[in-house]
Amino acid sequence: MKPSNLTRWIILGVVGLVFAFPILAMVEFTFRDGLSGAHTLDHWTGLFSEDAARTYRNLFTAIGNSLLLAVVTVGIVLVILLPTMILVHLQFPRLKRVLEFICIIPITVPAIVLVVGLAPVYGVVVKVFGGSVWTLAFAYGITVLPYAYRAIQSNLDAVDVVTLSEAGRTLRADWGRVLWFVLLPNLKRGVLAASFISVAVVLGEFTIASLLNRVNLQTALLQVSQSDPYVAIIFALLALLFAFVLLLSIGRLGRTRRTGSES
């Protein structure tokens, strides 16, 4: 039995309030004028003041680091995970369960445990690639696996990629062209979803960066919050807003240029 409209609105309202309440509280907090009880725009306008760049230099560096990490992590998803999934789907379907199991593992392992395992690995990573912040993306590539895998797999399951690729090959396309001209356009939605979710996860990651002594948005926010909690909350809100926009875009940008109604 389908729930009535009223029931649906009530459920939506309650869930919406649960999510909205802390966010609204954060917004309200950013306008507070200390303990006076009054409200002010100073905390927001202060971000655009002349000496803001110097005051919040570490924070802006951290934002840059997080964006770089997001880009590299998405690259790892697109270059390693996506082709592997397509290959398994088309050529080695028996390995699907194994791949799924491997990709789901990171969600079952707490970040702190993951770091304990990663610490000695990063000893080697630093020797090979140096200590640049972008190397953290190797760890993030693992943490985003469950989310990216789900997004891509649901798209793979929804499209008959086997028949489409076979049709492409009978029309003289080699594997590269099949991938580029036939499969990727039909997996756009899943690929974008995987990318955006990866970005959102990377922007919100704190534990691994903190324990491996790297600076990213979240570690910097913690640092800033100890001297200026208002700015920390403002940036947390902006990061949330950015992630929210990304997630909304999944539904919109992923649409193909199909026209007319589905038959």
Partner 1 sequence: MTLTAPTRTMTAEPGSGATVELRGVIKNYGSTQALSGIDLVMEPGEFIALLGPSGCGKTTALRALSGLETIDSGSILIDGVDVASTPTNKRDIGMVFQSYSLFPHMTVIENVEFGLRMRKVAKAERRERAAEALEMVGLGAHGARFAHQLSGGQQQRVALARALVTRPRVLLLDEPLSALDAKVRVQLREEIRRITRDLGITTVFVTHDQEEALAIADRVAVMRAGRIEQIGTPRELYATPVNPFVADFVGLTSRIPGEVVDGEVVVYGIALPLLGEPQPDGPVFALIRPEDVALATAHMEGAIPASVFASSFLGSLRRTEFVLPDGSVIAVQHDVNDAPEVGDAAFLRLRKAPVAASPRG
Tell me how far, at minimum, the Cβ of 238 lies from partner 1, in Å.
Answer: 35
Count other C-beta atoms under 10 Å from residue 176's C-beta: 8
Nearer to partner 1, 186 or 223 (CB): 186
Site string for partner 1, 153-192 (x = CB under 8 A): ------xx--xx-xxxxxxxxx--x---xx--xx------
257 touches partner 1 by CB under 8 A: yes
200 touches partner 1 by CB under 8 A: no
Which of 70, 67, 62, 69 lies closest to 231 in space, CA to CA?
Answer: 62
Under 8 Å between Cβ of 65 and 219: no
208-241 burial string, b = 16+ CB within 10 Å, else e?
Answer: bbbbbebbbbbbbbeebeeeeebbbbbbbeebee
Under 8 Å between Cβ of 243 and 200: yes
Q: Which of 22, 37, 123, 260 binds partner 1 (CB under 8 A)?
A: 260
253 touches partner 1 by CB under 8 A: no
262 touches partner 1 by CB under 8 A: yes
Nearer to partner 1, 4 or 263 (CB): 263
Tell me how far, at minimum, the Cβ of 247 lies from partner 1, in Å.
Answer: 23
Helix (H, G, I), strand (E, B) or coil at 38: coil
Q: Which residues of the shown chain bind partner 1 in the complex (CB under 8 A)?
A: 159-160, 163-164, 166-174, 177, 181-182, 185-186, 256-260, 262-263
